[in-house]
Amino acid sequence: MSLISPFVAIRRDLHKIPELGFQEFKTQQYLLRYIHTLPQERLEIQTWKTGIFVKVKGTAPRKMIGYRTDIDGLPIKEETGLPYSSEHEGNMHACGHDMHMSIALGVLTYFANHPIKDDLLFIFQPAEEGPGGAKPMLESDIMQAWKPDMIIALHIAPEYPVGTVATKEGLLFANTSELFIDLKGKGGHAAFPHLANDMVVAACALVMQLQSIVARNVDPLDSAVITIGKISGGTVQNAIAGQARLEGTIRTLSADAMKKVKERIEAMVSGIQLAYQCEAEIDYGAMYHQVYNDPQLTREFIRFAQSYPEVQIVRCKEAMTGEDFGYMLAEIPGFMFWLGVDSPYGLHHAKMAPNEAAIDRAIDFLTSYISWKGNNG
Ligand SMILES: CC(=O)N[C@@H](CCC[C@H](N)C(=O)O)C(=O)O
């Protein structure tokens, strides 16, 4: 007989089947199968692409409280060695969305069995890692009809011990923009560089130049990050590469800094075109709105957490992570918080392995908070 909690078992099932943005077909089926096992009297279920909305009708609703979880995985090859490792070769729940989903199902299970006064809306959102499911889901007819009056979400934090909840009023996560740069020159034989335009050399020069933008062009009292996470180019060791591609992301705390960083990237790419006699194309891919926590609701949540003995509340600093939940918070007051899961490897690491003890503790804490808020708050 298994001694693990049902929501830990669910997390392990979901951990095995990570799927990329808008391809979360098996995940959606798994979630729906589970949701249909719950008492259905007060539930209304609607699917949206690979996502799901579940409304739990309150007994005397004055408002609707939204609870959002993301559901997608990352194109990272798992190296945890766990017995329930990813069965989808090359994909992994390395950002903890399997934990987020199992906690959301735990909270939903509680309220399907113990209705409260207010209505609740559970949002199982695809494509948080890209290209972004929050904005189109928010704009969907379903969510426009079922628009919560407040909304909350959590993200696991490997760096905090289990039992920790960390958040702050106002800005929590950065503005983000993806960054793809394609360089096209002239390939050729490795022995005749003077007859070619080497895009590996151009790409290396560009990566080094990009590093100076944060150091020299962004106000030191503001913050920005430019990370190139992937470089590809060329075909074989003894041929000069006629093409190269840089893939990365830009993070800034202010909209001004984002504008400045993009202007400088464009100027540097023009310089590379001239210096290396190549063609270049920039694509900014998906952009995410900053995560800005409603000060009043966040303060109230922090006070609630401070009175909850099993939780240690930390007032954290803002982080350069991105989250498309920021789009929901731009329209609906609410907040996001970090949940400690105590893993020596951080988010997006192939060995990230959250402590599953966080799951049941988060479910207990969140059902208490939502019960209080949905009956009295
Ligand atoms: C919480 C988290 O890790 N979110 C991702 C969001 C990525 C957005 C987009 N694909 C980008 O890279 O800009 C993050 O990497 O912060």
Q: Which two tokens mark 295?
A: 């000060």
Q: Is 1 a residue whose pLDDT tops 60?
A: no
Q: Whose CA is nearest to atom 3 of ligand 1?
A: 321
- CB of 323 within 6 A of ligand 1: the answer is yes
The architecture in CATH of the region 6-171+290-375 reads 3-Layer(aba) Sandwich (3.40)
| Residue 278, annotated as binding a ligand | no
Instruction: Answer whether 174's CB lies under 8 Å from 326's CB.
Output: no
pLDDT at 373: 97
User: Which has the higher per-residue pLDDT, 361 or 376?
Assistant: 361
- CB of 293 within 6 A of ligand 1: the answer is no
148: left (phi over 0), alpha (psi -120 to 50) or beta: beta
Complex-level ipTM: 0.97
- CB of 174 within 6 A of ligand 1: the answer is no
| Residue 129, annotated as binding a ligand | yes
Map residue 214 onto helix, strand or coil: helix
Q: How far apart are CA 322 and CA 251, in angstroms?
A: 8
Element (H, E) at 102: helix 97-113
Domain spans of the chain, in order of start: 6-171+290-375, 175-287
pLDDT digits (tens, 9 = 90+) for 6-47: 999 999 999 999 999 999 999 999 999 999 999 999 999 999
pLDDT digits (tens, 9 = 90+) for 114-171: 999 999 999 999 999 999 999 999 999 999 999 999 999 999 999 999 999 999 999 9
CATH topology for the 175-287 domain: Alpha-Beta Plaits (3.30.70)
Q: Is 358 a residue whose pLDDT tops 70?
A: yes
The residues annotated with a catalytic role in the active site are 70, 129
Q: What are phi and psi of 44, to 5 degrees?
A: -125, 125
pLDDT at 218: 96
